[in-house]
Structure 1
Amino acid sequence: MRHRLRLLCLFVSLTLFTNVDAQKRRVYIDHSDSLVSNVGVAHNADRLIGNVIVRHQGAIMHCDSAYFYSKENRVDAFGRIHITQGDTLNLKGNSLAYDGNTSLAIIRGDVKLKDPSLELTTDLLEYNLENGVAFYTTGGTIVDSLNTLKSKIGRYYSNDKMLFFKDSVELDNKDFLMFSDTLKYNTEIKTVYISGPTTINSDSGYLYSESGWYSTITQNAELYKNSKMGNKKQELRCDTLLYDKLKGRGIAHHHVEIEDFKSRLVIKGEYGKYHEFSKKGMVTKSALLLQYDKKDTLYLHADTLRTQSVADSIPDKKIFLAYNRVRFYRRDMQGVCDSLTYSAQDSVMRMYFDPIVWAMKNQMTADSITYANNNKGAGLLNLYGKSFMVSLDTLVLYNQISGKNMIGYIVNNKLDRLDVNGNGQTVYYVKDKEGMVGVNKAICSDIRIKLKNNKIDRISFIESPKMDFFPPGDFGRGDLKLPMFRWEEALRPKNPLDVFNFDSYKKEEEIIRNIGESDEQKNVFEKVRKSLRNVK
């Protein structure tokens, strides 16, 4: 008996709870100028005409006329639809289908949704009055205090202050335009969350990424995938980009590339910085500079690579700096030094602190070296202070030239002539058709050397030379090596990858050498990245 009583009480409680919940979900008609019940017009519906007011769960709906389906707890409304819900929702349209059981309103025609933070306009909108979620698929526009956003598909989570956009997304701000495939937008903090290909264009340049966030208030950003930042003159590419608009600073991580289009220069590395105001950039960690043209490419590595403008008053006058363990490779010329600068305006490279340059079979050293290249196969090589050039004649014999300063003339990418200015000395091995004749040692203030096929062809002594000639039997004399003699072939970069010169790359280097030159050019950078990624 007690068991039956408990079941009866439970049934009554469930029934009362169900009835109370049903009462909460009932749609009520608060006002209508007239009411018509006509089965011929609408089955199981009451026709409400004139100043209709419908109430449901704190929401008030106004319209000109409506059909009220009391058994189904729904309303079809027409003419000047206006829905309010406290001070948070103001929704207007031409027609409405509302289901009180699900709290879902489908509103059509000149739809406008307003809340304290934005206004949404579209042709067709689904809005859930219970959870505050709005959804459109026919194109919509959202305007807040800073931005105008458009998309084909959109969803608004009013309680969370979040908007989700899909397909042909546009964001219009007074300072920039944003185009995207997919993004989210927080209406409270005015921040965009990127989750698809997105481009941000402004007067100063552009940003691109496929993942990250962008503040439309501060224009700061954190971009995490295939990120780019640039303008018509240069571009910064990387995986992760941290951008501070106020400071004008970008910090890049992983697969960093800075390309200067006019100078035909690319700087690569794993970490970089760029400052918009000072026009200064820096790349480090496996840093690599490439200068490319139709005929060849220069590959240059250093611990740190920098770029900066020389003067704001001179457009495009930039210099590139490389320092600590500089090594470079090009088919016709290689070099090493501690520090190096390159001027984009006049295409002049300046090498400092123990520089060495190799041009085919010739090695050149000096206190400092400059090289000017006009990209047409002609160039000028200047050696300043303690200048010295040496080439291997045989396995043990070296042709040598020393002087205070030297000027080398490059023709068709080959060293064609060398002028020695001041304190000139030479050691030159003389040959005829039958073999070695002897060695000529000379001292002369100014000397001119003509080269052919990268070998000394003719030497001209400008005035009053002091000369000694030694037969082959005297080749072992110690004084046949000039005081500044040094032979540094072991330091010479052998290929593009060798500019890194780390023991951990030797296996990759051997593989590339075995593959051949064409494949080397094609794969060198990917191999560098893979093998160097974990090197500190």
Structure 2
Amino acid sequence: MTLFIGIYAFETFAQKRTHKSVKKFEPEIPEANRYQANKVFLERADSMLSAPVKNPLESYILLMGNIEFSRGDMHLYCDSAHYYDQINSIDAFGNVRMERADNLSGRADQLHYDGRKEVMNLIGNVSITKDNRTLTSQAIDYYVPSNTGKYTSNGRLEDPKNVLTSIVGEYNFNTDNAVFTNNVDLVNSRDNYVIHTNKLLYNTRTNIAKLVEEAEITSDENKIITSNGDYNTATEKANLYVKNGVQPKLFAKDDRTLEGDSIHYDRHTGEGTAIGNVTVNDPKHHAILTGGYGYHNETTHVSYATDKALARIYNKENAKTGERSDTLFFHGDTITTIQEPDKNRVLTATGGVKFYRKDVQGICGHLSFAQRDSILNLYNHPVVWSGERQISSDNEINVHMRDSSSVDWATIPNKGLIVEHLGEIYYNQIYGKYLKAYFEKVTDYYDDGTESSRNELRHADIVGNVKTLFFPMENDSTYNKCVRTESGFLSLDLKEKQEVEKVKMWPEVSGTVIPLYLARKSQLKLDEYQWFDDLRPKSPYEVLNISEMMREMISQPYEILKPKVEEQPKDDDDKYEDNTQETKSLPVNNE
């Protein structure tokens, strides 16, 4: 009786819907080959109703309950469906589920399959999964032959390493390639970073993201900006390249930045290498490092540059780089900066070092600067110029910096020479075993509100085997004699504009005064005299030019000694007044 009532109710319902009742369904053509190209087979349904229409292509069968379709190696399940058997198309509703033999499965609230285009339109809470990769959205178009899913209104692709979201995207489950556009984010929760861009190519098998438009890779520790390159999210290595003249840029966790035509970065080690037009910027220490090749490790805080390496150190943010006197340019074959465990920062330059600032220039074979004690050490035939003065040594010169733009004092621990060019063939000269000079910072102010500083020599002490050669200026600003002296100690005081104020020598002084009209050329120079003006850089970027003469000079052997400095009397006018002699008291040589 119950069965009869159920059949009667079903038939009554069917008549009202103008559908024609069909007997209980049996598999469609059971003996047919199920792997025919683009052929859909109805495998199962609890009930069927047919709806006659004028156009056979629009006719469909209404299916209800436990429905299953097959198409090749794919099976489709749902609660109800419209089956367009003439055109191999389906409208599926309720608990829609599909499965393929390649371990792909999908779910949706609704599905439309167009057999002519071989495209499935999945709608409502859509997810398509293969192995451990899942594509989700509210609407996905699934292209059956290519095994590709596409969405156009916000979607998400998730694999074991990353979650990618975008407004528009597509993913090929065969090739594992994905293309995302419009507001793309790749989130890596393991290493805690996000890649944001407007277009990104990604492969779930290699976990490599290709960056083809401007992208930001941001973490709690650093940031990368690039428009061209790839980022391997499995190895955490990036290869970034210049595009349309815009270089990739790494903002390291130690506040330095690395730029170049190409950058290769390893997040695990913190190492970044750059090739071509490289810039390492250290705003915290007011330093910019450039070269053809660069390296920076944000973990060990080591940076270096080679291939026309150039460092620029500036003192004030408002200084115009390269124009104001407080910007120091220096070049070396290799320039390195290191931050030691105790936070001491050490800068070194090797292999033909040249530096330039408006008020001071120099050359040497090797240079080092330690921030902790503010000592600048120049080794291997160093020469330093300031104005018309030159200081040189075969071994080393040590300079103590008051700050990044001013010198406090300088020493030459082994055989130093100071030369001042007076004009024409006349040079004041001082030579000694040990020299120490004291400087004063002088600041110039400009109408545009900026300022620059320079260093002026105020006092010098020379110890051991001191030799001098001076050309005293007469009242009419001419020179008519040469004064040569030898002593154990010498003290020199200068006033503003570097004019000599006082010269003191002690304890025993010998020397001669030679009228210039009687002087031979050989008497106008000390035996130790050297003048290297041809090697002096005359402009900031001239430091990049290392001549063969300079290469030859720094290739000569040298040694770093620590001589025993003779104990000298304190520079006290009252105590040592009787032990000093002024140059005017020296005998005249009339040879």
**Smaller-chain TM-score bracket:** 0.7 to 0.9
For residues 36 and 269 of structure 2, the distance between their equivalents in structure 1, rounded to whole angstroms, comes to 59
Larger RCO, structures 1/2 (Cα 8 Å, 6+ apart): 2
Report Cα offsets for 1:369-390 as digits up to 9, x if no partner. 1231414655433332212111
Cα displacement (A) at 1:39? 6.2
Which residue of structure 2 lines up, in the alignment, with residue 30 of structure 1? 43
Cα 1:347–1:155 change in 2 (3 A) is farther
Report Cα offsets for 1:224-269 as digits up to 9, x if no partner. 2323332242122112223345555433211122222211112111
The equivalences for 1:49-448 within 5 A come to 49-173=64-188, 174-181=190-197, 182-225=199-242, 226-229=247-250, 230-245=252-267, 248-276=270-298, 278-293=300-315, 294=319, 295=324, 296-310=326-340, 312=341, 314-315=342-343, 317-366=344-393, 367-371=395-399, 372-375=401-404, 377=406, 379-403=408-432, 404-412=434-442, 413-423=454-464, 424-434=466-476, 435-448=478-491
Cα displacement (A) at 1:31? 2.6
Higher Cα Rg, which structure: 2
8 Å Cα contact 1:299-1:329 kept in structure 2: yes
TM-score by length of structure 2 reads: 0.75
For residues 439 and 453 of structure 1, the distance between their equivalents in structure 2, rounded to whole angstroms, comes to 24
TM-score by length of structure 1 reads: 0.83
Look up the SS of the partner of 2:116 in the other structure: coil
Which residue of structure 2 lines up, in the alignment, with residue 15 of structure 1? none
8 Å Cα contact 1:309-1:318 kept in structure 2: yes
Measured on the aligned residues, the alpha-carbon RMSD in Å equals 2.8
Runs of at least 5 residues in structure 1 that lack an aligned partner in the other structure:
1-18, 505-536
Q: Which of 278-287 and 112-121 deviates more?
A: 278-287
Cα displacement (A) at 1:219? 1.2
For residues 52 and 426 of structure 2, the distance between their equivalents in structure 1, rounded to whole angstroms, comes to 117
Which residue of structure 1 lines up, in the alignment, with residue 446 of structure 2? none
For residues 346 and 89 of structure 1, the distance between their equivalents in structure 2, rounded to whole angstroms, comes to 66
8 Å Cα contact 1:178-1:198 kept in structure 2: no
Report Cα offsets for 1:401-454 as digits up to 9, x if no partner. 222222231421132313123133332222233233533333344433333455
Q: Does 1:478 align with 2:522?
A: yes
Cα displacement (A) at 1:195? 2.0
8 Å Cα contact 2:469-2:482 kept in structure 1: yes
For residues 389 and 324 of structure 1, the distance between their equivalents in structure 2, rounded to whole angstroms, comes to 24
Q: Which of 52-61 and 473-482 deviates more?
A: 473-482
8 Å Cα contact 1:139-1:152 kept in structure 2: yes
Look up the SS of the partner of 1:498 in the other structure: helix
For residues 197 and 465 of structure 1, the distance between their equivalents in structure 2, rounded to whole angstroms, comes to 75
Cα displacement (A) at 1:277? 5.1
Runs of at least 5 residues in structure 2 that lack an aligned partner in the other structure:
1-31, 443-453, 549-591
Q: Does 1:496 align with 2:544?
A: no
Which residue of structure 1 lines up, in the alignment, with residue 18 of structure 2? none
Cα displacement (A) at 1:205? 2.9
For residues 488 and 88 of structure 1, the distance between their equivalents in structure 2, rounded to whole angstroms, comes to 79
Length, aligned pairs only: 483
8 Å Cα contact 2:314-2:328 kept in structure 1: yes
For residues 437 and 496 of structure 1, the distance between their equivalents in structure 2, rounded to whole angstroms, comes to 37
For residues 408 and 89 of structure 1, the distance between their equivalents in structure 2, rounded to whole angstroms, comes to 80
Cα displacement (A) at 1:183? 2.2
8 Å Cα contact 1:384-1:405 kept in structure 2: yes
8 Å Cα contact 1:416-1:454 kept in structure 2: no
For residues 151 and 377 of structure 2, the distance between their equivalents in structure 1, rounded to whole angstroms, comes to 62
